[in-house]
Amino acid sequence: MAGHQLAQRVAAKDLDWTGIDVDERLRGYWERRDELLARLDSVPFVLSHGDFHLGHLVATDPDVTTVIDWANLGMSPLGADLAHLALSTRQDLLSNYLRGLGGAMEDVVPGYAVTLGLTAASRFHWMRTRSVDVPEGYVDFVLGQLGRASIRRTGCGAPNKAG
């Protein structure tokens, strides 16, 4: 079982943004990665799938959905798996999740925001450096979610747009 998965993934990557057309807020979020990861020290860590997306959800029965591929099982900040799922759906799952909890569990917001932002920045960089098309609306979705996290005063939101 892996340790703090997000910190391990981020530590293994020194991304060169030279020549990459990117919204500065997304690049800026990546550049703040050490600060953002440090903010997670106060967030509960939980057992995590580590690669939770729609492709790993299989309807095995009309009333049963099975989660497959547990190869990345490890510990992650509360909200990390939700962030991975949100990136695969590009839907605001955080608002619905918190609404379902009656607004409780605000600890989920920093883990969600940091995981979503750093994972998205890394994936964006990967796509651009390999001439893979970035899905339409991807960056807008990510920045919108990070803006909502910033509104929640977590300090984990996107930097303000310059200019």
Going from the N-terminus, what domains does the chain have, and what CATH number goes with each?
A: 2-151 (3.90.1200)
Q: What is the torsion angle, in degrees rounded to the nearest 10, for the CA atoms of residue 76, residue 130, residue 11 and residue 30? A: -80
Residue 6 has pLDDT above 90, yes or no: no
The pLDDT mean for the chain works out to: 88
Predicted confidence at residue 4, as pLDDT, reads 77
Positions of E strands within the chain: 2-4, 45-48, 57-61, 64-67, 74-77
Residue 127 token pair: 């796509």
Residue 163 has pLDDT above 50, yes or no: no
Give the helix/strand (H/E) hosting 25: helix 24-31
> How many residues would you count in the chain?
163
